[in-house]
Structure 1
Amino acid sequence: MPRTNLSSPTASTAVSWDPDLPAPGGLCSIHQPNLFPRLTTLAKLFAADYWIVLDDVQFTRRDYQHRARLAALGDPLQRQWLSIPTRLPGGRRTAIRNALIVDPMRSRRRTMQILWQYFGSSPHWPALDQALVPVLDLFTTTDKTADVTEASTRILLDLLGWKGQVLRSSRLAARPGRSQRLADLAAVTGARSYLCGTGGMKYLETDLFTSRGITVTPFRTPTAGGWDSGRAISALRALMLLGPPALADALRAVAADQDESRPAV
């Protein structure tokens, strides 16, 4: 994919638009690849027109880039981490896309066993079981943790009927800097608005977006019902309790509640 020189005053998406990019004017979400993401994360991606997978930033072991916190169907407080053992060939500076799976076959078996243990009794398990096939196959066809974790999110979005587009930050032009990188990614893909989670709003330099005509939309989810643990546990529990159609309806309602026209302050 061609890289645009974002520092050039002559750079213009109107005259150099890449057909692989989404149509200009969409709602953009940027997030690291997570293993079976939390409900709030999945809801944010579902609400966006496209997801830029942030795969060229530093891997963080104490995050969700290689692990998911599962919760039992009958008791949301019965929890367990599901992790993909991961090696960082470049040490702490290793980018997410370069992190490697340790013992792929053992990781594959353990992933399937734990998922079955937690969700096999759900009437909606057959749909997930079938969707998991390409994710599990990746354990033996790639050595990259990010390939598996990105796929684990994609299958959930597919089950929910999401029609958006997925891109990777490593294939797009962006300058370093926490907020600068995000603003560049949103700009180069022609976003009209950047959908930002509550954590990101604590540090985001919104002027880097608004100066380029991009609004920042704070993404908020309900706090009652199944959402009370949505920031802590994987969306798999909600999917297996409600089923794909019902959860998709719930996420559409959340997406409709976002005020896209009001810039963040």
Structure 2
Amino acid sequence: MPRTNLSSPLASTAVSSSSDLPPPGGLCAIHQPNLFPRLSTLAKLFAADYWIVLDDVQFTRRDYQHRALLAALGDRRRQWLSIPTHLPQGQPTRIKDALIVDLVRSRRRTESMLRQYYASSPHWPAFDQALAPVLERFSTGKTAAVAEASTRILLDLLGWNGQILRSSQLAARPGRSQRLADLAAVTGARSYLCGTGGMTYLDTCLFSACGVTVMPFRIPTAGVWVSGRQVSAVLALMSIGPQSLADALRTAAAQTFAQPVACRPTA
């Protein structure tokens, strides 16, 4: 698929060179950097050939960009792990510009809570070793850097071989659906994986105009998936281990690719 030439005004003007882009014809997921993301989010990214980190949209405090709901092994305890975040430009601050408050304390609390909840798991040592790059990213002072790293290590532990790009380095026009369609098209995607939340607002005709099909991504509701839309995927990883979780994610991905969505404009 040829890279789309976007003639309208761009929201992001820094464009990656063609050598940085994935091979054309892949499956694309676009999602904000989430701190130790929910299983539903991780499954969508795992199913994709590449993940475009949506880092140049407005930071949302009540979302998952700086927090994760941890659930304990073997009981009903749940607790938010949050990175205190300062928005230098106030509410309009973009995700990539959000700053961590109290770097040392935030790093210590992140490590401590994860250890408290999951050190009893037989899969903890591998996760603990993989956690080092996440903790190191606190030194950047950027909440998004830590969140992206936390997702990356989960994907790595599951054996994902995809590529990570960032929306701030790609050309896209403004508009909720238009931005996503342009990001998928400019990276040469053949299909865009869309979660159930996105399907409620997405103008799929904009994707069709770019030659990109929209694939609704749905997860199962039983077994390890029961709390997959609420709690961090770390619970599933620590419960059944990387290999079994990767198998479950592959099965979920295979079941979701059957029905591309036809052109459906929003009202």
Residue in 2 that maps onto 1:13? none
Measure the CA separation in 2 of the matches of 1:74 and 1:223: 19
Mind listing any 5+ residue stretches in structure 1 that lack a counterpart?
Answer: 9-15
Q: Tell me the distance in 2 between the aligned counterparts of 1:34 and 1:48.
A: 16
Matched residue, 2:209: 211
SS of equivalent residue, structure 1 residue 92:
coil
Equivalent AA in structure 1 for residue 208 of structure 2: T
SS at structure 1 position matched to 2:79: strand
Give the Cα–Cα distance (whole angstroms) in 1 for the partners of residues 195 and 136 of structure 2: 31
Aligned partners of 2:215 and 2:7: how far apart in 1? Answer: 25
Where do residues 41-120 of structure 1 align in structure 2 (5 Å cutoff)?
41-75=41-75, 77-120=76-119
Corresponding residue pairs, total: 254
CA deviation string 1:159-215 (max 9, x = no partner):
000000000000000011100000000000010000000000000000000122111
Distance between the aligned counterparts of 2:223 and 2:250, measured in 1?
16
The 3-state SS of whatever aligns with 2:156 is: helix
* AA aligned opposite 1:257: Q
Counterpart-to-counterpart distance in 2, 1:259 and 1:206: 16
CA contact (8 A) 1:5 1:173 kept: no
C-alpha distance in 2, partners of 1:260/1:206? 17
Residues 53 and 168 of structure 1 are in contact (CA less than 8 Å); yes or no, is this contact kept in structure 2? Answer: yes
The question of whether the paired residues in 2 share the 8 Å contact of 1:215 and 1:261 is answered with no
Is the Cα contact below 8 Å between 2:33 and 2:53 reproduced in 1? yes
Q: Percent identity?
A: 75
Cα 1:117–1:204 change in 2 (3 A) is: same
Distance (whole Å) between structure 1 residues aligned to residue 163 and residue 241 of structure 2? 23
Relative distance call for 1:17 and 1:55 in structure 2 (3 A) is: closer
Residue range with higher mean Cα deviation, 17-26 or 154-163: 17-26
Q: Deviations over 1:92-134 (max 9, x none)?
A: 0000000000000000100011000100000000000000001
Question: Mind listing any 5+ residue stretches in structure 2 that lack a counterpart?
Answer: 9-15
Matched, 1:199 2:197: yes
Paired residues of 1:119 and 1:125 also in contact (CA < 8 A): yes
Give a deviation string over 1:46-74, Cα, whole Å, max 9, x none: 00000000000000000000000000011
Q: Once the 2 structures are TM-superposed, how far is the Cα of residue 4 of structure 1 from its aligned partner?
A: 7.6
Q: Calculate the aligned-residue CA RMSD, in Å.
A: 1.6
**Residues 258 and 17 (structure 1), Cα distance of their counterparts in 2 relative to 1, 3 Å cut:** farther
Cα deviations across residues 23-54 of structure 1 (Å, max 9, x unaligned)? 00000000000000000000000000000000
For 1:80 and 1:262, how far apart are their aligned partners in 2? 37
CA–CA distance in 2 between the matches of 1:5 and 1:164? 25
Deviation at 1:244, TM superposition (A): 0.6
CA contact (8 A) 2:43 2:253 kept: yes
Which amino acid in the other structure matches residue 211 of structure 1? A
How far apart in 1 are the matches of 2:81 and 2:34?
12
Deviation at 1:262, TM superposition (A): 2.6
Equivalent residue of 1:57, what SS?
coil
Query: Under a length normalisation based on structure 2, what TM-score does the superposition of the two structures give?
Result: 0.92
Aligned 8 A contact 1:29 1:195 in 2: yes
> TM-score scaled by structure 1?
0.93
- C-alpha distance in structure 2 between counterparts of 1:261 and 1:227, whole Å: 21
Per the alignment, in what secondary structure is the counterpart of residue 167 of structure 1? Answer: strand
- Kindly provide the amino acid, as one letter, of the partner of residue 78 in structure 2: R
Q: 1:263 offset after TM fit, Å? A: 2.6
In the alignment, the residues of structure 2 paired with residue 112 and residue 260 of structure 1 have an alpha-carbon distance, to the nearest angstrom, of: 40
2:228 to 218, 227, 230: 230
